[in-house]
């Protein structure tokens, strides 16, 4: 392999990039823009759950109970229901996500030490949100019960005894922010999309313009052509990764807790695997339109659905878990979460690196097979 020829191809590709300012601007700034949009839009944290109250008791005790819920940012009171027939309308029209029904004689039953049943009617269309609302309600009820139990025991001169004190500590993400969990997946998704599409379009452009024949009759070898074509986009992708990390740090407080050198090396390996997909797409596509469609389908859908970015792979059927290996984003997300969130070393994800290298070798091998068959056919 000649470094002179490799440098010439790389220089030629850089000139193509700098001539198309619009494309260059998209490749540089669009990934960071996507991170901002997705970072704010995709959020599983539930706050300000809209609640409506049907209070049949109408006592200070019932109002105290409702105030204990609305004193936090988890619940927002939208109003009181005057008629039991309004409950269905409130939920049907999504005026409230939860309707609380306080029974008659609530306070008298409570002070008489009898069991009370308060009804919570939760909109269950969105199952995940409904479960979160249920957990919020259970936690609020526990706090309210504990407060009044302590007051009652204190009035009797009895100190409450808890044989087991439950004190959970959350490592790596103490605030339990879903944004910190999603940012590594967003980085992988954005990088795989930009790398695959840009590399595949770059190679197919030579076919579409008819300049591939000139390259074929020149002394340039296939490896030199591939490396020269992909090097500018690898450098741009690394720049994108740095910009995304900066945006994630300043806007979402996502700090890299592990080794920056290890993050750089693993990102380079991941981008090598991504460019191998772009090379394979360019080997089977003969026009930029076809290459763009295939590259988008091959990078976007698997990186969103099958990578573990949003949906946990462990909860998928076994057959689908096997299919998830078609995207390198699956392996890179494990690496990113290990380095960025947990700050661990190579011992925690060395298998993922091996999978990425094997993936790249398989894709490049398939590309060579396709190109050899096309050459024989011509």
Q: Write down the pLDDT at residue 335.
A: 94
Q: Which residues pair with 79 in a beta bridge?
A: 52
Q: What are phi and psi of 97, to 5 degrees?
A: -90, -15
- Give the global pTM: 0.79
Please, are residues 258 and 38 in contact by the beta-carbon 8 Å criterion?
Answer: no
Please, are residues 334 and 309 in contact by the beta-carbon 8 Å criterion?
Answer: no
Judge residue 322's burial from the number of C-beta atoms within 10 Å of its C-beta, 0-12 exposed, 13-18 middle, 19 or more buried.
exposed
- Structure token digits, residue 233: 């986009």
Please, are residues 133 and 121 in contact by the beta-carbon 8 Å criterion?
Answer: no
- Beta strand segments in 28-85, E: 49-55, 75-80
Q: Write down the pLDDT at residue 214.
A: 62
CB contact set of 285 (below 8 Å; sequence gap of 6+)? 200, 204, 291, 294
* Domain parsing of the chain, residue ranges: 3-43+177-377, 49-155
Please, are residues 348 and 264 in contact by the beta-carbon 8 Å criterion?
Answer: no
Please, are residues 45 and 129 in contact by the beta-carbon 8 Å criterion?
Answer: no
CATH code for the structural domain at 49-155: 3.40.1710.10
What is the secondary structure of 235-277 as a DSSP string?
A: HHHHHHHHHHHHHHHHHH-----S-HHHHHHHHHHHHHHHHHH
pLDDT along the chain (378 residues), means of 10: 72 77 76 78 78 87 85 87 87 90 82 80 84 85 77 65 68 80 86 85 75 64 72 83 85 87 93 89 85 87 86 88 91 93 90 94 85 70
User: For 47, left (φ over 0), alpha (ψ -120 to 50), or beta?
Assistant: beta
Give the other-Cβ count within 10 Å of 337's Cβ. Answer: 21
Please, are residues 148 and 107 in contact by the beta-carbon 8 Å criterion?
Answer: no
CB contact set of 76 (below 8 Å; sequence gap of 6+)? 48, 49, 50, 51, 70
Q: Where are the alpha helices (DSSP H) in the chain?
A: 3-19, 21-41, 60-70, 86-92, 106-111, 127-155, 178-209, 212-217, 222-252, 260-284, 288-305, 318-323, 329-336, 350-377
Stated length of the chain: 378
Please, are residues 95 and 47 in contact by the beta-carbon 8 Å criterion?
Answer: no
- Structure token digits, residue 337: 């979460």
């Amino acid at each position: 392999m000649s470094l002179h020829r490799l440098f010439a191809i790389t220089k030629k590709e850089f000139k193509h990039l700098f001539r198309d300012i619009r494309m260059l601007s998209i490749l540089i700034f669009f990934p960071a823009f996507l991170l901002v949009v997705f970072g704010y839009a995709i959020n599983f944290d539930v706050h300000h759950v809209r609640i409506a109250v049907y209070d049949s008791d109408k006592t200070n005790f019932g109002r105290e109970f409702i105030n204990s819920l609305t004193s936090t940012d988890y619940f927002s009171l939208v109003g009181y229901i005057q008629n039991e027939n309004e409950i269905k309308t409130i939920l049907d029209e999504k005026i409230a996500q939860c309707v609380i029904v306080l029974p008659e004689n609530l306070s008298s039953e409570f002070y008489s030490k009898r069991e009370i049943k308060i009804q919570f009617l939760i909109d269950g269309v969105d199952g995940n949100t409904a479960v979160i609302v249920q957990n919020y309600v259970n936690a609020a009820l526990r706090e309210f019960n504990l407060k009044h139990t302590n007051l009652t025991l204190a009035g009797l001169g009895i100190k409450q005894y808890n044989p087991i004190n439950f004190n959970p500590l959350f490592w790596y993400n103490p605030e339990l922010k879903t944004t910190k969990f999603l940012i590594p997946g967003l980085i992988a998704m954005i990088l795989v999309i930009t790398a695959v599409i840009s590399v595949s379009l770059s190679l197919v452009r030579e076919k579409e313009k008819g300049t591939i024949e000139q390259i074929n009759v020149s002394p340039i070898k296939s490896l030199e052509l591939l490396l020269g074509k992909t090097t500018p986009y690898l450098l741009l992708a690394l720049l994108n990764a740095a910009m995304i990390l900066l945006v994630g740090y300043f806007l979402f407080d996502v700090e890299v807790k592990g080794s920056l050198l290890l993050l750089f090396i693993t990102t380079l390996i991941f981008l090598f695997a991504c460019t191998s997909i772009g090379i394979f797409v360019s080997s089977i596509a003969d026009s930029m339109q076809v290459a763009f469609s295939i590259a988008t389908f091959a990078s976007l859908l698997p990186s969103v659905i099958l990578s573990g970015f949003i949906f946990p792979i462990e909860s998928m059927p076994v057959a689908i878990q096997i299919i998830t290996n078609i995207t390198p984003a699956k392996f890179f997300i494990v690496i990113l979460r290990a380095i960025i969130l947990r700050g661990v070393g190579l011992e925690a994800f060395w298998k993922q690196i091996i999978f990425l290298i094997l993936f790249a070798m398989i894709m490049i091998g398939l590309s060579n097979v396709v190109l050899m068959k096309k050459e024989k056919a011509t």
